[in-house]
Structure 1
Amino acid sequence: MSGHNIVVGLDVGTTKTVVIVAEIDQQGGVIIIGVGEQPTQGVRKGGIVDLEAVIKCIVAATEKAEQMSGCRVQNAYVAVSGPHLSSVNNKGVVAITNKNREIAPEDVDRVLQAAKVVALPQDRRIIHVHPRQYAIDGNDGIVDPIGMAGARLEAEINIVTASGTALQNLLKCIQKAGLQEEELVPAALASAEAVLLPAERNLGCLIVDIGGGTTEFAVFDQGRLWFSSVLPVGGNLITNDIAIGLRIPVEAAETLKTEHGCVFPRLMPDNEMIPIPDMLGHETKKVSKKLLASIIEPRSREILSLIKNELKRSGYRGVLPGGLIVTGGVAQLNGLIELAAEEMDLPARIGCPEKMNGVSDCIQNSSYATAAGLVLYGARQLSYVQAAPTGERFFGGIINKFKHLFQDFFA
């Protein structure tokens, strides 16, 4: 098995750390050959609060993935999450000065460099540049300008930035766990890679990944990333509400949520009861499913309301005919998709990873969307490199420059 055809994704989430190892076949297909999972310790609302605990989680998950795949894991595409992430749209313009006015990869590189010049606070770092469209001499909507003729090339891009200190802590954990980052990828973009259909991207859609401690979401329009953001809320808030409301351990509250939870109290019968434990773990009494749902509903509506407000804040004015795609662990909560459709006034569906073979049945669950998306993203980057060895086509050259930037900054 040739090492250059292996792609690894690492997702350090608030509730679990996942490592996925995939082999890329000659046709570019993704074959999952190893999955490692470990409950995360040391992360709160997407932010690292205990370096040593996170390092141990990464090591444990990596060892499990290595054991299943039979591969030594060294480099990984790494998901970046947390409320410190933000995105902004920007434009750049360059003149085409060669004799025949034909746009070359170097010109695309120049215009992307020009577009990413934005005023950032000292602690902010660019982690991802996503070209939305190009324009040649005022004609916009161009996806790939290379080889076309023109005198003026414009690029409209989406720039995702992150806190430099948060990145430094994440990279330190990864490196002390014996790994090197291949590329840092915003979690929402990775999830989109795994669950969105091309038609949804093109029409315009909203993807929402509700995890344990954070909610990532992104808007796609005409196939391109328009806006992304992260909120410091997630399923753990629902779990904590259940624990407080019923006065039971958090672990028992999480089990109740996943096994019996529903967001619509009106759908639950009054006489269907569930046994619950006390703080010592002993079964003491029973509560109705209706009562459980009445605790879950307000927090679920609050999370969706925050997403709706953030979407308004983004300035997006489209109608999103591609609808709402909800993924992440909380997406499996009974009734959440229907509630999301009601609150957001959009057609909604649950998004689960697909497009993969091998032991992909291990990750065909919405809670693995980010990790699965990382290997799909990595496979696509690998195909770019193989198609264009110079690494200059599209924004491959930019990515390499960013990697060197991070190496210099965090050395």
Structure 2
Amino acid sequence: MDMQNDKIVVGLDIGTTKICVIVGHKNDYGKLDVLGMGKAVSDGVVKGKVINIEKTILAIKKAVEEAEDNSGIDIKVVNVGIAGHHIRSSIQRGSITRDDRDEEITVEDVNRLTNDMHRMVIPAGNQIIHVMPQVYTVDYDDGIKDPVGMTGIRLEADFHVITADINSINNIQKCVKRAGLDIENMILEPLASSLAVLSDDEKEAGVCLVDIGGGTTDIAIFHENIIRHTGVIPFGGNIITSDIKEGCMVMQQQAELLKTKFGRAISTEASENEIVSIPGLRNRAPKEISIKNLAHIVEARMEEIIDLVHAEILASGYEGRLAGGIVITGGGSQMHSARQLVEYLTGMDARIGYPNEHLGRTKIEAVKSPMYATSVGLVLAGYRSIDERENRYLEAKLNNQNMFINHKQKGVKKEGDFFSKIINKTKSFLIDDFDEKDDY
């Protein structure tokens, strides 16, 4: 097993509904073995933003302790997800001039160009969290996916730059640090989810990932294996719960149970005669709720969310190029008939995204649910980059390191063999000489 696969990686998803910690380890087959999971109710986060530091710290500590008990691992470093309506993305162009036209473009040249983009001027109060190359141009020859190995002086690229509100970043960092943890990477949540639920074929053909969480709906569009567009819609499953609470005049917990157990995204699938009875308040009669009325409430809000998703796809300019259709994941994807409603409103193929493809052995069946796609993706992000080109560069680097180590080990072995032969020969001479002395 190589050094990359030998490490333990922890994902920390600070969501609006829940805070989840997953501890993972890559096995010999390249799959992710989940060693432990912990979760806690998230009271201090609204629409992806931390609004109560103390409550969030307590929830993180609770989730971490549970994950440590399950896995037997002492957690110190985590990969953290970030989301929220404050996330912004834009396409920016960068360039560098190389010294020698005849020298091949190296991975170092590509990294230098990418690192230069981190120094670009952005709006006050924001901070860059991701810089992802789209396509490269070498001496005005454009449309190049991977320039490594080519020759030229001027190297340019279009970059997908993602920024976040610096206060939101600081609040997440503060919560994690005060919970006794260090941050290895901070990753945009839809990008993490994409690692868990999308196949390489889908990303090559063109696909839109829609992660319907508790407070936000996150979008990531891929085409030709390159991230093309990201977006965050400030609505998620919690707003459906709020609508049910107000529309049916019930308590928050009752509204959540009604949504998850009896909610339907398409109202025509609900029967007129179906009624559910829920306990009334103190000394009051039970309340009867029509499943048909409940479905109308859910459908109206789901339609609004899907329409906003469709608007993001149109704004990206990739609507007609997504042969892989739409993949919906997150807790909201488990709503009855959600997939069918997405297909009906967008006219595109859709499927539910389960984080099963990359999972190996686990005793925790819950981790296979779309609700934990982001958490699993954050662990996978500890092993591989969102950009496949980065993975190839890292793989080549690790192979070179392994070759160098093996070469050194072989050299040591040969040297050891040489000296051991001399010592053995010397021993044999001494023994023979000693035997001869005994004969006298």
Does residue 358 (structure 1) correspond to residue 367 (structure 2)? The answer is no
Contact 1:247 1:278 survives alignment (8 Å):
no
Report the Cα offset of residue 76 of structure 1. Answer: 0.9
Are residues 175 and 117 of structure 1, via their aligned partners in 2, closer, same or farther at CA, if it must alter by over 3 Å?
A: closer
Q: Note the alpha carbon deviations across 1:132-151, whole angstroms, 9 max, x for none.
A: 22233344444433233223
Which secondary structure state, in structure 2, belongs to the residue aligned with residue 190 of structure 1? helix
- Counterpart of 2:425? none
Greater mean alpha carbon deviation, residues 285-294 or residues 382-391: 382-391
Contact 2:76 2:182 survives alignment (8 Å):
yes
Q: Note the alpha carbon deviations across 1:314-336, whole angstroms, 9 max, x for none.
A: 45454311101111101000011
Aligned amino acid, residue 246 of structure 2: I
Which secondary structure state, in structure 2, belongs to the residue aligned with residue 378 of structure 1? coil
Which secondary structure state, in structure 1, belongs to the residue aligned with residue 74 of structure 2? coil
Distance 1:282 1:137 in 2: 77
Aligned amino acid, residue 339 of structure 1: L
Aligned residue runs from structure 1 range 157-176, under 5 A: 157-176=159-178
User: Pick from 272, 282, 290: which aligns with 1:288?
Assistant: 290
Are residues 5 and 280 of structure 1, via their aligned partners in 2, closer, same or farther at CA, if it must alter by over 3 Å?
A: farther
Report the Cα offset of residue 98 of structure 1. Answer: 2.9
Distance 1:113 1:101 in 2: 21
- Counterpart of 1:328? 330
Task: Show structure 2 runs of 5+ residues with no match.
Answer: 401-440
Aligned-residue Cα RMSD (Å) equals: 2.5
Distance 2:347 2:375 in 1: 29
Task: Show structure 1 runs of 5+ residues with no match.
Answer: 392-411
User: Pick from 54, 57, 63: which aligns with 1:61?
Assistant: 63
Does residue 73 (structure 1) correspond to residue 75 (structure 2)? The answer is yes
- Counterpart of 1:405? none
TM-score by length of 1: 0.89
Name the count of aligned residue pairs. 392
Report the Cα offset of residue 292 of structure 1. Answer: 1.1
Does residue 367 (structure 1) correspond to residue 376 (structure 2)? The answer is no
Aligned amino acid, residue 372 of structure 2: Y
Aligned amino acid, residue 369 of structure 1: A
Contact 2:135 2:157 survives alignment (8 Å):
yes
- Counterpart of 1:45? 47
Which secondary structure state, in structure 1, belongs to the residue aligned with residue 169 of structure 2? helix
- The structure 1 segments of at least 4 consecutive aligned residues displaced by more than 6 Å after TM superposition are none
Report the Cα offset of residue 246 of structure 1. Answer: 1.1
Are residues 25 and 140 of structure 1, via their aligned partners in 2, closer, same or farther at CA, if it must alter by over 3 Å?
A: farther
Contact 1:90 1:116 survives alignment (8 Å):
no
- Counterpart of 2:340? 338
Distance 2:85 2:216 in 1: 8
Are residues 361 and 31 of structure 1, via their aligned partners in 2, closer, same or farther at CA, if it must alter by over 3 Å?
A: same
- Counterpart of 1:31? 33
Contact 2:16 2:42 survives alignment (8 Å):
yes
Report the Cα offset of residue 61 of structure 1. Answer: 0.5
Aligned amino acid, residue 301 of structure 1: E
User: Pick from 397, 401, 410: which aligns with 1:388?
Assistant: 397
- Counterpart of 1:404? none
Aligned amino acid, residue 22 of structure 1: G
Aligned amino acid, residue 72 of structure 2: G
User: Pick from 66, 83, 86: which aligns with 1:84?
Assistant: 86
Distance 1:315 1:385 in 2: 31
Contact 1:275 1:283 survives alignment (8 Å):
no
Contact 1:248 1:279 survives alignment (8 Å):
no
Aligned residue runs from structure 1 range 221-232, under 5 A: 221-232=223-234
Q: Note the alpha carbon deviations across 1:354-402, whole angstroms, 9 max, x for none.
A: 21112163311111110011111111159765752699xxxxxxxxxxx
Distance 1:280 1:42 in 2: 29
Which secondary structure state, in structure 2, belongs to the residue aligned with residue 236 of structure 1? helix
Distance 2:188 2:82 in 1: 5
Are residues 56 and 353 of structure 1, via their aligned partners in 2, closer, same or farther at CA, if it must alter by over 3 Å?
A: same
Are residues 102 and 349 of structure 1, via their aligned partners in 2, closer, same or farther at CA, if it must alter by over 3 Å?
A: same
Distance 2:165 2:6 in 1: 31
Which secondary structure state, in structure 2, belongs to the residue aligned with residue 269 of structure 1? coil
Report the Cα offset of residue 19 of structure 1. Answer: 0.4
Does residue 310 (structure 1) correspond to residue 319 (structure 2)? The answer is no
Which secondary structure state, in structure 1, belongs to the residue aligned with residue 355 of structure 2? coil
Distance 1:278 1:129 in 2: 53
Report the Cα offset of residue 156 of structure 1. Answer: 2.1
- Which has the larger Rg? 2
Q: Percent identity?
A: 38
Distance 2:395 2:176 in 1: 27
Distance 1:366 1:281 in 2: 40
Which secondary structure state, in structure 2, belongs to the residue aligned with residue 367 of structure 1? helix
Distance 1:273 1:88 in 2: 48
TM-score by length of 2: 0.83
User: Pick from 142, 146, 150: which aligns with 1:148?
Assistant: 150
Aligned amino acid, residue 288 of structure 2: K
Distance 2:285 2:7 in 1: 52
